[in-house]
């Protein structure tokens, strides 16, 4: 058999041309069109993901979890893969406790992929997973959980859907708690697994710091319980309890009512979110008489035994200021001014001080300025400048009218009586822990406001106020208690006071000689009007029993 | 054929050739360059194949281990998640408010006063 050379040449030429064409095309795609091919090809396998940082855990001083972040499963659907949509919607409706109609509508919406229910409880997610319905799947999403539910809700605040802290600790320490997200660029196979020998570029995330608070969960729970009971008993519009350790200004409890559920903030009124311990001001009334007396004692203008004749009122700046119910007490010592809560007596002491010294003392105790507590939304209260004071303001301010304070400010001032005369900056974060270790908060002594002798005298006078005076209801069976009640009128918009509406309060500490805590209880508009202080002192008593028991404080009196 | 070879041998023994010629004749037939090239190529291909198999084996092993590592990492993540959920459950169970509610449900009453004894009193009683 002979082979035609011509045919061979033609065949060779064809192959050569075809090869050249292929080579040319290949060169074209690999060079000129490289980017256009590479982009989609890499896009199919490469994923550029944000690696979320874990939000820090918030714990109380004993390590109990107050807020933490866990990954919960969210249910999604790929509707095209679900054959019997009505049946699946029915099943999901039963398991989720929802109306199946909206679920079915979502399955029929024509979407390629859709969430059905986000952040499911574990048991529900397990039950749905057990159905093994093709087209249903789970994706984990971070959820902020508060195991104690509404306890310390105002103090802790909450986290919105975008992961940003709102109110309380969550807002004040958002940048610390949030951490820094990382980034992961990786090539994945069709089963969404990272290719072992593929591209992998990772910038690790930096988790948020964990915070340990000064709050004691047992004391906080007791404060919330007593506040709830007082609110129910008095049908008060609002209330709060502040508990502070006088030795360093650390906060043991902050309870505010009405409260909210951090898990259902969307349906909460904005006013409810306000923490009344730090972001609400009121005229303190008679609880401020302690400050007036302390200022006068400190300057040697009066002693606990200094006596005046109480006629039931005092006239100052051309205005007559009456005692509660207009009662005249006759000869009254300064100690009895506190015991009887005599307005005329407070005016007597305030007049001894004079406007300048009284104003200066109120400022020194921290009124009219923020305490600097590490919580969001703190208010400063109002202490008008001295230049704006009328002569009558010396009288009204001496028994707590014409100026506003926050309950936290008042607690700080009483803590100065309790600790020997030093005003501390209140704080709530004891330490934060991050990758570098633990960073403790150093207590800050702002200034000495009274001498230790004056503080001791104040403790003794306030002890007498509980033992012999109007605050008797706050006394405990085996502990000495020092404190002062307060009943303040509520200013209206016309500049006058509302008739027969009050704010009842009690500020005190125990044991009186070596105080372990200072508490301020405030109730707004109690239904028992002037007797609202009885409920406030009862709340203090219930709280004090738990606080002293938890701290294992030895009784200092026979029961 | 065996007969011919047998017959030729005595002749070779009888007429011995010079030593140089004899050495050439007695040496086994030399390997041709084609054979050598074939052998080298075959060896190279075999070595290349072996290396490729080893490389593939290594890559497969790495892949398998990597997938196993991913599976274990996913397992670890899930266990950490479960652990966090258990921590939350524990915190809920230990919540003082829940314990108080349970105590109230059981009819337990709060002591208004907790008697405290000093060490001396205890010692005296013993």
Give residue-wise pLDDT tens across range A532-544.
999 999 999 999 9
A554–B116 C-beta distance less than 8 A: yes
Q: What percent of chain A has pLDDT over 70?
A: 99
Average pLDDT over residues A178-199: 85
Average pLDDT over residues B64-92: 93
Residue A431's DSSP bridge partners are A212, A440
Q: Which residue in A65, A129, A140 has the most chain B C-beta atoms within 10 A of its own C-beta, making it the best mutation to test that interface?
A: A65
pLDDT value of position B5: 44
> CA of B78: which chain A residue's CA is closest?
A71
CB B112 within 8 A of CB A149: no
Identify which of A156, A184, A183 has the alpha carbon closest to the alpha carbon of residue A56: A156
Least trusted range by pLDDT, from A245-254, A450-459, B32-41: B32-41
Picking from B59, B70, B116, the nearest residue to A194 by CB comes out as: B70
Q: Binning pLDDT at 50, 70 and 90, where does residue A227 land? A: very high
pLDDT value of position A190: 80
DSSP string, A482-526: EEEEEEEEEE-TTSSEEEEEEEEEEEEEESSSS-SEEEEEEEES-
Distance CA A52, CA A263 (A): 21
Residue A51's DSSP bridge partners are A182
CA-to-CA dists, residue A549 to A217, A480, A497, angstroms: 13, 14, 41
Neighboring chain B residues of A70 at a CB cutoff of 8 Å: 81, 84-85, 88
**Does the pLDDT value for residue B126 go beyond 80?**
no
Q: Which of the 8 DSSP states describes residue A262?
A: G
- The 3-state DSSP class for residue A386 equals helix
Picking from B67, B94, B97, the nearest residue to A196 by CB comes out as: B67
> Computed from CA positions of residues A97, A102, A105, A107, in that sequence, does the dihedral angle turn out positive or negative?
negative
Picking from A70, A148, A477, the nearest residue to B97 by CB comes out as: A148
Q: Is B88 on the interface with A (CB under 8 A)?
A: yes
A122–B63 C-beta distance less than 8 A: no
Q: Is B10 on the interface with A (CB under 8 A)?
A: no
Average pLDDT over residues A411-440: 96
Neighboring chain B residues of A477 at a CB cutoff of 8 Å: 112-113
Structure tokens at A3: 């082979």
> CA of A544: which chain B residue's CA is closest?
B112
**Does the pLDDT value for residue B114 go beyond 90?**
no
Q: Which of the 8 DSSP states describes residue A65?
A: E
Phi, psi of A307 (to 5 degrees): -120, 145
- Taking the CA of residue B65 and the nearest CA in chain A, the distance in Å comes to 9
Residue A510's DSSP bridge partners are A517
Q: Binning pLDDT at 50, 70 and 90, where does residue A192 land? A: confident
pLDDT value of position A191: 80
A359-370: per-residue pLDDT in tens? Answer: 999 999 999 999
Average pLDDT over residues A437-444: 95
- Across A78-193, the runs of DSSP E, i.e. the strands, are 114-117, 136-145, 158-159, 165-166, 182-187
More confident residue, A105 or B15: A105
Distance CA A68, CA B83 (A): 12
Q: Is A63 on the interface with B (CB under 8 A)?
A: no
What distance separates the 2 farthest-apart alpha carbons in chain A? Answer: 147
Average pLDDT over residues A95-124: 93
Average pLDDT over residues A424-428: 97
Structure tokens at A293: 């007396």
Neighboring chain B residues of A187 at a CB cutoff of 8 Å: none
Identify which of A241, A333, A463 has the alpha carbon closest to the alpha carbon of residue A472: A463
Average pLDDT over residues A413-437: 96
3-state helix, strand, coil in chain B (%, to 5): 80, 0, 20
Q: With the CA atoms of A141, A146, A147 and A151 taken in that order, what torsion angle do they form, in degrees rounded to the nearest 10? A: -170
**Non-local CB neighbours of A314 within 8 Å, separated by 6+ positions:** A320, A321, A343, A344, A347, A348, A351, A395
- Taking the CA of residue A59 and the nearest CA in chain B, the distance in Å comes to 10
CB A428 within 8 A of CB A254: yes
Identify which of A544, A550, A472, A473 has the alpha carbon closest to the alpha carbon of residue A511: A544
> CA of A152: which chain B residue's CA is closest?
B97
**Does the pLDDT value for residue A355 go beyond 60?**
yes
Question: Is the N-terminal amide bond of A82 cis, ω within 30° of 0?
Answer: no
Helix residue spans in A281-321 (DSSP H):
289-298
pLDDT value of position A38: 84
Average pLDDT over residues A30-41: 87
pLDDT value of position B15: 54
Distance CA A361, CA A294 (A): 9
Q: Is B58 on the interface with A (CB under 8 A)?
A: no
- How many helices and strands, by DSSP H and E, does chain B display? 5, 0
Whole-structure pTM value = 0.84
Q: Binning pLDDT at 50, 70 and 90, where does residue B4 land? A: very low
**A328: buried, middle or exposed (CB in 10 Å: 19+, 13-18, 0-12)?**
middle
Taking only Cα atoms into account, the Rg of chain B, rounded to an integer number of angstroms, comes to: 48
CA atoms within a 13 Å half-sphere pointing along the CA-CB vector of A312: 4
Neighboring chain A residues of B120 at a CB cutoff of 8 Å: none
Structure tokens at B121: 């009193």
pLDDT value of position B6: 43
* Cβ under 8 Å to B: A residues 134-153: 140, 145, 147-149, 151
**A440: buried, middle or exposed (CB in 10 Å: 19+, 13-18, 0-12)?**
exposed
B84–A70 C-beta distance less than 8 A: yes
- Checking A386-393 for CB contacts under 8 A at 24+ apart, the result is A386/A355, A386/A356, A386/A359, A389/A355, A389/A359, A390/A317, A391/A316, A391/A317, A391/A318, A391/A355, A392/A316, A392/A317, A392/A318, A392/A319, A392/A321, A393/A317, A393/A355
pLDDT value of position B7: 42
pLDDT value of position B20: 53
CB A169 within 8 A of CB A157: yes
Q: Is B104 on the interface with A (CB under 8 A)?
A: no
pLDDT value of position B28: 57
pLDDT value of position A45: 86
- The 3-state DSSP class for residue A226 equals helix
B62–A65 C-beta distance less than 8 A: no
Distance CA A547, CA A518 (A): 10
pLDDT value of position A266: 75
B7-44: per-residue pLDDT in tens? Answer: 444 444 445 555 555 555 555 567 788 888 889 999 99
pLDDT value of position B24: 53
**Non-local CB neighbours of A327 within 8 Å, separated by 6+ positions:** A312
Q: Which residue has the tokens 């047992």?
A: A218
> CA of A223: which chain B residue's CA is closest?
B97
- Taking the CA of residue B54 and the nearest CA in chain A, the distance in Å comes to 16
Pairing, β A497-510 against β A517-524: antiparallel
**A166: buried, middle or exposed (CB in 10 Å: 19+, 13-18, 0-12)?**
middle
Distance CA B113, CA A184 (A): 60
Q: Is A225 on the interface with B (CB under 8 A)?
A: yes
- Taking the CA of residue A514 and the nearest CA in chain B, the distance in Å comes to 18
CA atoms within a 13 Å half-sphere pointing along the CA-CB vector of A364: 19
**Does the pLDDT value for residue A183 go beyond 70?**
yes
> CA of A150: which chain B residue's CA is closest?
B97
Picking from A68, A151, A559, the nearest residue to B113 by CB comes out as: A559
Distance CA A70, CA A211 (A): 16
Picking from A70, A140, A221, the nearest residue to B88 by CB comes out as: A70
pLDDT value of position A208: 95
């Amino acid at each position: 058999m002979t082979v035609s050379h011509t045919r061979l040449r033609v065949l060779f030429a064809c192959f050569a041309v075809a090869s050249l064409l292929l080579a040319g095309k290949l060169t074209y795609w690999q060079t000129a069109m490289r980017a256009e091919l590479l982009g989609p090809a890499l896009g199919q396998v490469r994923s550029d993901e944000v690696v979320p940082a874990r939000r820090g855990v918030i714990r109380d001083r004993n390590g109990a979890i107050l807020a933490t972040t866990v990954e919960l499963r969210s249910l999604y659907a790929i509707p095209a893969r679900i054959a019997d949509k009505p049946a699946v919607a029915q099943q999901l409706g039963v398991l989720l406790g929802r109306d199946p109609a909206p679920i079915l509508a979502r399955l029929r919406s024509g979407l390629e992929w859709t969430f059905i229910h986000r952040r499911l409880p574990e048991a529900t997610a397990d039950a749905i997973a057990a159905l093994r319905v093709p087209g249903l799947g789970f994706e984990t999403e971070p959820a902020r959980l508060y195991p104690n539910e509404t306890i310390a809700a105002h103090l802790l605040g909450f986290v919105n859907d975008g992961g940003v802290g709102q109110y309380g600790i969550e807002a004040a320490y958002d940048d610390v708690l949030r951490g820094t997200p990382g980034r992961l660029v990786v090539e994945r196979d069709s089963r969404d697994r990272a290719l072992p020998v593929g591209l992998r570029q990772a910038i690790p995330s930096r988790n948020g710091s964990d915070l340990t608070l000064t709050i004691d969960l047992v004391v906080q729970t007791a404060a919330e319980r007593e506040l709830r009971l007082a609110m129910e008993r008095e049908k008060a519009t609002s209330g709060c309890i502040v508990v502070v350790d006088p030795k360093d200004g650390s906060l043991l409890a902050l309870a505010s009512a009405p409260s909210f559920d951090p898990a259902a903030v969307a349906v909460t009124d904005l006013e409810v979110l306000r923490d009344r311990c730090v972001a609400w001001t009121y005229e303190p009334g008679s609880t401020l008489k302690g400050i007036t007396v302390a200022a006068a004692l400190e300057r040697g203008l009066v002693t606990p035994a200094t006596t005046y004749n109480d006629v039931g009122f005092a006239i100052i700046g051309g205005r007559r200021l009456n005692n509660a119910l207009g009662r005249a007490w006759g000869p009254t010592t300064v100690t009895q001014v506190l015991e009887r809560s005599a307005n005329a007596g407070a005016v007597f002491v305030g007049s001894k001080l004079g406007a300048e010294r009284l104003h200066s003392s109120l400022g020194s105790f921290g009124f009219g300025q923020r305490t600097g507590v590490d919580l969001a939304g703190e208010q400063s209260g109002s202490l008008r400048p001295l230049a704006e004071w009328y002569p009558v303001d010396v009288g009204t301010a001496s028994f707590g009218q014409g100026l506003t304070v926050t309950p936290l400010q008042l607690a700080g001032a009483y803590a100065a009586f309790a600790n020997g005369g030093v005003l501390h900056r209140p704080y709530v974060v004891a330490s934060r822990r991050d990758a570098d270790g633990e960073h403790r908060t150093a207590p800050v002594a702002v200034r000495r406001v009274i001498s230790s002798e004056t503080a001791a005298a104040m403790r003794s006078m306030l002890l007498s106020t509980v033992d012999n005076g109007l605050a008797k209801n706050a006394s405990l069976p085996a502990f000495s208690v020092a404190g002062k009640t307060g009943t303040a009128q509520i200013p209206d918009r016309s500049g006058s006071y509302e008739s027969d509406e009050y704010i009842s309060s009690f500020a005190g500490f125990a044991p009186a000689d070596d105080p372990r805590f200072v508490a301020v209880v405030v109730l707004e508009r109690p239904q028992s009007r002037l007797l609202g202080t009885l409920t406030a002192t009862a709340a203090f008593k219930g709280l004090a029993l738990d606080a002293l028991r938890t701290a294992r404080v030895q009784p200092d009196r026979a029961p | 054929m065996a007969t011919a070879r047998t017959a030729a041998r005595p002749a070779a023994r009888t007429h011995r050739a010079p030593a140089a010629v004899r050495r050439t004749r007695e040496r086994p037939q030399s390997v041709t360059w084609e054979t050598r090239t074939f052998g080298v190529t075959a060896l190279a291909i075999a070595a290349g194949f072996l290396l490729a198999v080893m490389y593939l084996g290594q890559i497969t092993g790495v892949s398998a281990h990597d997938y196993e590592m991913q599976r274990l990492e996913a397992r670890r993540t899930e266990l950490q998640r479960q652990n966090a959920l258990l921590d939350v459950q524990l915190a809920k169970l230990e919540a003082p408010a829940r314990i108080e509610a349970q105590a109230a449900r059981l009819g337990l009453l709060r002591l208004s006063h907790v008697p405290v004894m000093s060490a001396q009193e205890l010692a005296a009683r013993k």
